[in-house]
Structure 1
Amino acid sequence: MAVYGGGCIDDLIVLPPLPTGNGRQASITGHTAGFREPWTTEGGVPGVELGADRVLPWGSGCNANEPGWLMTGPNPDQWPVIVWRGHGNPRWALFNCGRAEFLRRLVTAEFDACPLSDLSLWGRVGAFVHHEEQERRFHAGLDPMTGEPDPYAGMFD
């Protein structure tokens, strides 16, 4: 996070810890309550007895797949990834790897099966675009992810 900050890989938003000040970007702090709510109502990962206060989002907006961490101890480098899969059964899944490893294995299709409930990022190495670059492109009339001219730019201002 210190190197790259928040941004997107295709439809997956990698959340920064705090709001960025422009009012348009989501953040971990802004998504925490919404991420914890289904953990409470649906019971979380089968077999995991930790409460909702031990889950923390790090991503959002990927076709009803919401990734986060299970805060299993004091060292964040050892927190496994959890995913709420909007169309999966069970809804919650646990992956014994960190965020960077999870993303690498997702986009290179190195899990035994796709860890998400859709295939939008499975085996597709997409570019990470920083939230500030997305904002610059948007205001320049470009598609925030591709940088190509946006034919709809300015239509909804």
Structure 2
Amino acid sequence: MSLTSVPRQARPEITLAVCRGACRMMRQSGHTVLLEMPLPDGRRADIFALGRGGEIVIVEVKSSVEDWRVDAKWPDYLDWCDQLYVAVPVDFPQPLIPGEIGLIVADAYGGEVLRVPARRPVVAARRKSLLIDCARLASERLARLDDPDFGDFA
């Protein structure tokens, strides 16, 4: 999610803080992040992170128990990444997050991985397609900074 957009959730200030902290943590661990990455199945990854070796990590950001309960789409992300995490605020009841996905606790200043999920490698052809989509989207977003009036690409 864009750090400047207001998501349709009950606690947008918490969502933005958790997203910022999770992004900082991912960058500190050597990943490059792209927010709101559209996936071929119509879903949108809150944080799409690429490791130095091309590994793909998706982080879903949840601001509250209500946000977690109304959005049960996390299994849909498993085919699009090598590892899936959920990032939550410190006061989130962590036992609600299923054991097969990773868990990050974050605030506006950073985050910490509390549980690392098993690595489930993405099929090579899908990885290539996702990496190309990611590069194209990042390039278009960067280009819009120079020419914000030139079309809508993502």
For the aligned pair, the TM-score class normalised by the smaller chain equals under 0.3
More helix by share: 2
Q: Higher RCO, 1 or 2 (CA under 8 Å, sep at least 6)?
A: 2
More strand by share: 2
Please report the TM-score for the alignment, with normalisation by the length of structure 1: 0.26
Larger Rg: 1
